[in-house]
Amino acid sequence: MKNFSQKNAPRCAHKAFKIFSAALAVPAALVFLGSCSKKIDYFDYVSELRSNVLVASKNNLSLAVYATEKETPYAADGIKRETTPRAEIYLTAPTGVESYDISFTYEGKEYGGDMSFDNVKLEYFYSCSLDLSAAAEIVFTVAFDETTAELTAASVRTEETLSPRDILNKVKTAESETFNSMTDRNGFAGEIYMRLIYEDAPYYYVGIIDREGRILALLVDSTEGKILAKRQM
């Protein structure tokens, strides 16, 4: 049997140290790679966003103005596509009038045109490619039957209203089981609808849609982010 001499001891110790260091390096590398894994931003999966609502009423005219971003094509199929900003304007007015025309100025540019009539909702509608997410107040002119009326629409948001991103973060925490079940290393297998709505006070509607078209619909308080109602559709 060979005996290790003291002369060979430093060489053996050095070799053992290299093997030990290599063994430690493997889990260390795994930890490093794990820390570099992609963190999912669920806001990237919002395929419909209504971030602002402006309302106005005068005499028998009522306006609701929505700042939206919607995917094209628009489909609740769990797949987020490219979105574009739009201004959607709804006018509730006496029917029987031949046509309504709406016009307004925003950031120095003029917009407007003829409003179409929705026979189902019994309201007039106009939309254009415009981002009104930051609008606080806009003056609209409605023309009909050789008459004009001015309506000043103001945002329903207050200083206490949480942003859509903050709302989504709170919903993700409250519905962590749902988000975790739809998330893997490839990302989020679904899309999200977020709409600021106004019924005497602002609320958020949040819809979480999977690849089968199933929707978890949530009504969320706009100031605290608490889920007030939940429904599986």
Q: Are residues 131 and 175 in the same domain?
A: no
> Is residue 25 domain-resident?
no
Please state the pTM of the whole predicted model. Answer: 0.82
> Is residue 1 domain-resident?
no
Confidence of residue 146 (pLDDT cuts 50, 70, 90): confident
The model's pLDDT over 42-73, given as tens digits with 9 standing for 90+, comes to 999 999 999 999 999 999 999 999 999 999 99
Total of domains in the chain? 2
Q: Are residues 174 and 202 in the same domain?
A: yes
The yes-or-no verdict on residue 15 having pLDDT over 70 is no
Q: Report the half-sphere exposure of 146 (CA within 13 A, side-chain side).
A: 0
> Is residue 64 domain-resident?
yes
Distance CA(65)–CA(102), nearest Å, equals: 12
CA distances from residue 83 to 45, 68, 131 in whole angstroms, order as listed = 10, 9, 12
The yes-or-no verdict on residue 3 having pLDDT over 60 is no
Q: Residue 174's closest CA among 232, 210, 224, 211?
A: 224
Q: What confidence score (pLDDT) does residue 55 get?
A: 98
Choose one of 127, 155, 183: the last residue of a domain.
155
Q: Report the half-sphere exposure of 19 (CA within 13 A, side-chain side).
A: 6
Choose one of 137, 155, 173: the last residue of a domain.
155
Distance CA(41)–CA(34), nearest Å, equals: 17
> Is residue 59 domain-resident?
yes
Q: Are residues 169 and 148 in the same domain?
A: no
**Residues in contact with 74: Cβ distance below 8 Å, sequence separation at least 6, in sequence order:** 48
Percent of the chain whose predicted confidence (pLDDT) is above 90 = 77
Q: What confidence score (pLDDT) does residue 38 get?
A: 66
Q: What is the dihedral of CA 221, 226, 228, 233, to 10 degrees?
A: 100
> Is residue 14 domain-resident?
no
> Is residue 73 domain-resident?
yes
Tokens of 148: 């004009």
In this structure, what DSSP letter does residue 161 have?
P
Q: Which residue has the higher pLDDT, 106 or 28?
A: 106
Tokens of 42: 């669920």
- Give SS3 for 212: coil
Q: What confidence score (pLDDT) does residue 2 get?
A: 43
Choose one of 111, 134, 155: the last residue of a domain.
155
The burial class, CB within 10 Å (0-12 / 13-18 / 19+), for 132 is: buried
CA angle, residues 27, 30, 35, in degrees to nearest 5? 130
Q: Are residues 60 and 147 in the same domain?
A: yes
Residue 92 belongs to a domain with what CATH number?
Answer: 2.60.40
The β-bridge partners of 114 are 101
Distance CA(178)–CA(176), nearest Å, equals: 5
> Is residue 134 domain-resident?
yes
